[in-house]
Amino acid sequence: KAKSAGGGCYAAYHPDMLAGLVERLELEADLRVALERGQLQLHYQPTVDLVTSEVIGFEALARWQHPQRGLIPPAEFIPIAEATGLIVPLGRWVLEEACRQAVEWSAQSDGRSVKMAVNVSVRQFDRAELADVVARILAETGMPAAQLCLEMTESVLMTDTDDNLEQLLRLKALGVTLAIDDFGTGYSSLAYLRRFPVDTLKIDRSFVERLGALTDDTALADTIVQLGKSLGMATVAEGIEEFGQLAALREMGCHFAQGYYFSRPVPASEAGALFLGSAPAVAPTATPPVSVE
Question: Judged by CB under 6 A, does residue 184 bind ligand C2E?
Answer: no
Of the candidates 113, 76, 96, 44, the one whose C-alpha atom is nearest the C-alpha of residue 266 is 44
Evaluated on CA atoms 89, 93, 94, 96, the torsion sign reads positive
Of 80-119, binders to Mg ion (CB under 5 A) are: 119
Q: Which does 74 bind (CB under 5 to 8 A by kind): Mg ion, ligand C2E, none?
A: ligand C2E
Among 67, 260, 267, 279, binds ligand C2E (CB under 6 A): 260
> Least CB distance from residue 221 to ligand C2E, whole Å?
14
State how far the Cα of 55 lies from the Cα of 123, in Å rounded to an integer.
30
Of the residues 48, 55, 88, 94, which one makes contact with ligand C2E according to CB under 6 A = 94
Do residues 234 and 202 lie in contact, with contact meaning Cβ atoms separated by under 8 Å?
Answer: no
Is 5 or 93 the residue whose CB approaches ligand C2E more closely? Answer: 93
Question: Closest approach of Cβ 117 to ligand C2E, in Å?
Answer: 8
202 vs 255, which CB is nearer to ligand C2E?
A: 202
Q: Kindly tell me which of 92 and 202 has the beta carbon lying closer to Mg ion.
A: 202
Kindly identify the residues of this chain, within the stretch 111-130, that bind ligand C2E according to CB under 6 A.
Answer: 119-121
- Contact between 76 and ligand C2E (CB under 6 A)? no
Q: Closest CB to ligand C2E among 230 and 269?
A: 269
- Name the binder of 267 from Mg ion, ligand C2E, none, CB < 5-8 A by kind: none
Interface with Mg ion, residue 121, by CB under 5 A: no
> Residues with Cβ < 8 Å from 271, sequence gap 6 or more?
43, 44, 46, 58
Nearest to 168 by CA among 149, 196, 135: 196
Task: Verify binding: residue 200, ligand C2E, rule CB under 6 A.
Answer: no
Burial class (CB in 10 A: 0-12, 13-18, 19+), 32: middle
The smaller minimum CB distance to ligand C2E, of residues 45 and 84, is found at 45
Using CB under 5 A as the binding rule, the residues of this chain from 237 to 276 that contact Mg ion are 238
Q: Which does 75 bind (CB under 5 to 8 A by kind): ligand C2E, Mg ion, none?
A: ligand C2E
> What whole-number distance in Å separates Cα of residue 4 and Cα of residue 26?
8
Is residue 30 near Mg ion by the rule CB under 5 A? no
Q: Report the distance separating Cα 142 and Cα 170, nearest Å.
A: 19
Q: Which of 75, 91, 90 is nearest to 31 (CA)?
A: 90
Question: What's the half-sphere exposure (Cβ side, CA atoms, 13 Å) at 61?
Answer: 17
CA distance 275 to 278: 5
| Closer Cβ to ligand C2E, 195 or 243, answer by number | 243
Side chain identity, residue 83: A
Closest among 64, 59, 123, 132 to 91, alpha carbons compared: 123
Chain contacts with ligand C2E (rule: CB under 6 A): 45, 61-62, 73-75, 78, 91, 94, 119-121, 151, 181-182, 205, 238-241, 258-260, 265
